Amino acid sequence: MTIQSYSYLIALPLVWLIVWAIRTPRPRIVGLLLASYMFYASWGLAFLLVLLVSTTVNYSWGQVLRKRPMAPLLWAGIGFNLAILAVFKYLPSIGSGILGGSSFGRLVGTIVMPVGLSFWTFQALSYLMDIYRGEEEKPSLLEFCLYMAFWPTVLSGPVMRVGELVPQFRSDARPGWEDVTCGLHRLLVGLFMKVVLAQVLAVGLYKGEGVSDGFDKIAGGWGGLDVLLLAVSFGFQLYFDFAGYSNMAIGAARLFGIRLVENFDRSFFSRTPSEFWSRWHMSLSFCIRDYVFMPLASRRRSLWWRNLSLVTSMTIFGLWHAASWPLVAWGLYQGVLLVAHRQVQQLRRRWQFSVPPTIDTLVSWSVTFVLIAVGWVLFRSHDMSQALGMLRALLLPGRYLQLGLRPDFYIIATLVIGLYFVYSGLEWLVTRFRSNGVIYHSIRLLSPAYYAALILLVLIWSKQQSVFVYFQF
Amino acid sequence: MVQIRRLYTPLVCLCLLIVAGSLSRSAGFDPLTEAQNKRVGFSTRGSARQNPELSPAEAWLAESVLDPEFGGDKGAVRVLYLSNSHSYAVMDLRPGDLTAAQWLQVFTARQVGHGQPPSVVRLPQVPNLSMPECLIKLVAFGEQSSRPGDVLIGGMVMAEWRGIGVRKAVQSLVEIPAVQERLRQLIRANPDLPHATRALSFVDEIAAAVPTDLPLATRIENQLRSWIETKVPLLRMLPLLYGRMTFSFVTLRNRTFAISSDRARPVPEVTYRSSLELLELALRYTRSKGLVSVIYLAPIRPITPNPNLPSDLARFRRDVLATCQRYGVTSVDYTDAIPENLWTNYPDDGSWGYTTPQRDFAHFTGGAHKLMAEQMMKYAGPLLLGRTSGKGDARKP
């Protein structure tokens, strides 16, 4: 059951009514847990079994760790979770690649990764690490089960920490009108981003267009502009897809009065790589910062070690997505970008180099936008030879005259991306001048047309097939 | 009062959706008809009977070309005629006009007089057939109903080499196990054609995604979806609304960028390479199945300005004919075969998706179809009659 399926959209209000009718926290947790397990089991009973095993083992290990917070015990817990990741996520791809022909290779090739495994395993890891650091909330088994399986987050995050979620489960406040309207708004906007905008960029309007065909069906011969367009469009596709999904998850949880952490914050307005990573997939990048980078960096005080820790953390971030060289290279590239940004900042401070703020902002934004876009080539490529071929096209000026993609895709991508910036500008203006009576009443008057248009577009595009990029992670 | 104000947005929104639903129902928009050049017609059942040159038996044979399946004609050579809409659409259609494929069926039958026709021609009608789609259609024919000695007539249209997309309707053929297996085998066995195999990479994705037994949740979702779609009229209209939006986009694009039908449209390098390799893959496939191939280059309207760039055209002619020659396949170059007077019977005035009258560079008249069939019989007649094994060379009518 995907969160844009009819089954989900029918089940959601039913569950809401049942949970709303329950006044005390504990039975409400039971209700939410049952709904979460049913939702997860709809992807496969075996997946639920893996989740149950992981939940039970992690909870039990947490109890042990709480009594004796020792590093070897923490490492054993981390080892268990990494083993789950290794067996279900990395072994099939590595095994079928290296041992493809052997019977063992064929066997591991048949292993299917439970959906959302990377996300809920990360939540389990954060639980163990928080216990070790003495920051954890002491959930009951029931609360921990819900924390691991909570259906808005179980498939693709946002990655939550025990301290952020469990206190909300315990609250006896029922969802109010604001929760419901805000939740529905986020759900609808998320659906629109995911089903319409991400889809338009992924497959275009006709056959043979879109990011998917540009990356998947072409084996070489891209022009520089093609690669640039594909890279930028993929960045936006991923943004609409994942930020849309996050909006839907946040909206669904909000309907029940539960607030999830934000995952995206106008990422494409970032002026530095560091800023980008504090606005993109925030829940995971903050976890990587807190659980990988900080412990690593705090081991030595020297600058080179700090930089190495940064690169290592981002490489692990890349590897978290999948065991593939392009993703490792993407993580490494992001790490190098972050280090380079720090060095540039230091040089600017040392030389007291300054330019007018407007030019500074514009140049910083443009450079960051292009550098991050170049990274998407690595992220989306099937293998290193494809990635290098595309990057080579970017570096050869002569190749910019050669256009390989259908002209309509240039128009559509420019239109969608341009409209995103226009919409963001309008949103900023509305937020700024909301207190103005005329603007407030105009928005209120037009809001039904706005929502009706969103629903209609979502319905029209829902007939086209939509695949969520982050399910594979 | 507060409650009423709260309900304003959801209630008005619902009303607007209901209005949109009823408007879309009453609009009666058909994107396919709307986007089509109104002067282009299609030979249908019954139209061949109006041709005075044909006997009733020949008219029946000509009409059978439009059947989707080959039927059970034992011993007859099966001829699959694959190309884009130029092969089945007729410009300024007149009563009794036939397509080249229909004429071929008639001509081959005349070669042996009355009785069992020596060959059965079938013409799947797929507009804008790209090369990956062409290959899938060919493999579906090869794996399902061909026999050694059967013939593929492939019409290469340079304009279609500008894209390598595959529509869902054609993609569904990949779900047939034999077709899927053969395509996967072709991908694995031909690593020297990387552009072609990459263009077909979705075959492996389909193979991985088609479960033998759908999970309960998916079955419930499918049933729920079909039930809801029968109950809510707006949901039934969604494909048409999508077509409407696409059509509006095209119209807006043409107006904004002043795009006309005679504006030069270069063939991108990447799709060109993929299409050429896909042609090669198709020829390897036909050879492995013992099928006889006849490849022709579709006619180009001999006027300027022209959407086909001379440099693209020269390369296309050179590469396709050379590839065919390499595989010993008979090829016919119709590029200049149709004179301007056979492209249209009236002044150009089509304006599909445009604001001003436009020339049609893709479809020609019934007279041109007959001329093409006559030329085809001259150069590839024995192959269609099953009288030679098909070691061919390049021909220029």
Q: How confident is the model over A245-268, as pLDDT tens digits?
A: 999 999 999 999 999 999 999 999
Which residues is B121 bridged to in the sheet?
A: B79
Residue B26 belongs to some domain of the structure: yes
Query: Which regions of B9-111 does DSSP assign to beta strands (E)?
Result: 40-42, 77-82, 89-91
pLDDT of residue B48: 86
Residue B345: which of B22, B40, B3, B24 has the closest Cα? Answer: B40
Q: What is residue A372's predicted lDDT score, i.e. its pLDDT?
A: 95
Helix, coil or strand: residue B214: coil
Q: Is the pLDDT of residue B72 over 80?
A: no
> How many structural domains does chain B have?
2
Q: What does the pLDDT average to over B249-264? A: 86
Which residue of B2, B3, B6, B9 to mutate against A (max A Cβ within 10 Å)? B9
More confident residue, B356 or B152: B152
Residue A121 has pLDDT above 70, yes or no: yes
Q: How many whole angstroms separate alpha carbon B145 and alpha carbon B136?
A: 14
Cβ atoms of A169 and A146 within 8 Å: the answer is yes
Cis status, amide bond into A167, omega within 30 of 0: no
Bond into B305 cis (ω within 30): yes
Q: What is the pLDDT of residues A209-222, one digit of tens each?
A: 889 888 888 877 78
- Measure the CA–CA gap between A248 and A466, rounded to whole angstroms: 15
Q: Rounded to two decimals, what is the model's pTM?
A: 0.85
Q: Confidence band (pLDDT; 50, 70, 90) for B1?
A: low
In this prediction, residue A245 carries a pLDDT of 93
**In terms of domains, do B118 and B203 share one?**
yes
- Helices A407-432 and B238-256, packing angle to 10 deg: 100
- Which of A208, A444, A460 is facing B163, going by the closest CB pair? A208
Tokens of A94: 């590595």
- The phi, psi pair for B174, rounded to 5°, reads -70, -20
| B23 and B110 fall within a common domain | no
With CB atoms and an 8 Å threshold, state whether A221 touches B12: no
Q: Is the pLDDT of residue A404 over 90?
A: no
Interface residue A110 vs chain B (CB under 8 A): no
State whether B203 and B226 are in the same domain: no
- Whether residues B179 and B308 share a domain: the answer is yes
Binned at pLDDT 50, 70 and 90, residue B353 comes out as low
If asked whether residues B186 and B238 sit together in one domain, one would say no
pLDDT band with cut points at 50, 70 and 90 for residue A384: very high
What is the bridge-based pairing of β-strands B89-91 and B40-42? antiparallel
Cβ contact B16–A452 (<8 Å): yes
The answer to ipTM > 0.90 is: no
Based on the domain organization, do B232 and B154 belong to the same domain? no
pLDDT higher than 90, residue B138: yes
The alpha-carbon gap from A294 to the nearest alpha carbon of chain B, in Å, equals: 40
Instruction: Tell me whether residues A216 and B202 touch, CB distance under 8 A.
Output: yes
What is the distance of C-alpha B285 from the center of its chain?
19
According to DSSP, residue B200 is labeled T
Please state, as a whole number, how many other Cβ atoms lie within 10 Å of the Cβ of residue A228. 19
Q: Model confidence over A14-72: pLDDT tens digits?
A: 999 999 898 889 999 999 999 999 999 988 889 999 999 999 999 999 999 999 999 99
Q: Does residue B167 sit at the A interface (CB-CB below 8 Å)?
A: yes
Q: Is A318 exposed, middle or buried (0-12, 13-18, 19+ CB in 10 A)?
A: buried
Q: Tell me the per-residue pLDDT of A181-232, one tens digit each, with 9 for 90 and over.
A: 999 999 999 999 999 999 999 988 877 788 988 888 887 778 889 999 999 9
Say if CB B70 and CB B122 are below 8 A apart. yes
Is the residue at B228 inside a domain? yes
**What is the model's pLDDT at position A205?**
82
Same domain (yes/no): B232, B287 = no
Q: Which of B11, B215, B225 sits opposite A44 (nearest CB)?
A: B215
Within this chain, do residues B60 and B3 fall inside the same structural domain, yes or no? no
Distance of alpha carbon A413 from alpha carbon A234, whole angstroms: 10
Return the SS3 of B91: strand
CA-to-CA dists, residue A266 to A170, A281, A311, A370, B8, angstroms: 32, 11, 24, 16, 30
**pLDDT (mean) for B224-241:** 81
Residues in chain B: 397
B188 has a chain A CB within 8 A of its CB: no
Does A46 touch chain B if contact means CB atoms closer than 8 Å?
no
Query: What pLDDT is attached to residue B257?
Result: 86
B29 and B174 co-located in one domain = no
**Residue B391 pLDDT greater than 70, yes or no:** no
Can you give the CATH number for the domain in which B350 is found? 3.40.50.1110
What letters, b where the CB count within 10 A reaches 16 and e where it falls short, cover B332-359? bbbbebbeeebbbeeebebebbbeeebb
pLDDT band per the 50, 70, 90 thresholds, residue A473: low
B175 and chain A in contact, CB less than 8 A: no
Residues of A in contact with B8 (CB under 8 A): 444, 448
Domain containing B238: what range?
A: 1-34+212-242
- Interface test with chain A among B13, B164, B175, by most A beta carbons within 10 Å: B13
Q: Give yes or no for A448 touching B (CB within 8 A).
A: yes
Higher pLDDT, B112 or B88: B88
The domain limits of chain A are 6-174, 179-472
Tokens of B263: 């504006």
The residues in A 261-300 lying below 8 A from B, measured between CB atoms, are none
Contact A217 B215 (CB under 8 A): no
Q: Chain A contact for B162, CB < 8 A? A: yes
B228 and B309 housed in the same domain: no
Q: Considering only CA atoms, which of A324, A242, A316, A247 is closest in space to residue A285? A: A316
Mean residue pLDDT of chain A comes to: 89
* Cα gap B163→B127, rounded to integer Å: 13
The verdict on B69 and B6 lying in the same domain is: no
Secondary structure class of A323 (helix, strand, coil): coil
Share of chain A above pLDDT 70, in %: 96
List pLDDT tens digits, range A293-333.
Answer: 998 999 888 889 999 999 999 999 999 888 889 999 999 99
In DSSP terms, which residues pair with B79 in a beta bridge?
Answer: B121, B151
Quote the CA–CA distance of B379 and B381 in Å, as a whole number.
Answer: 6
pLDDT at B113: 59
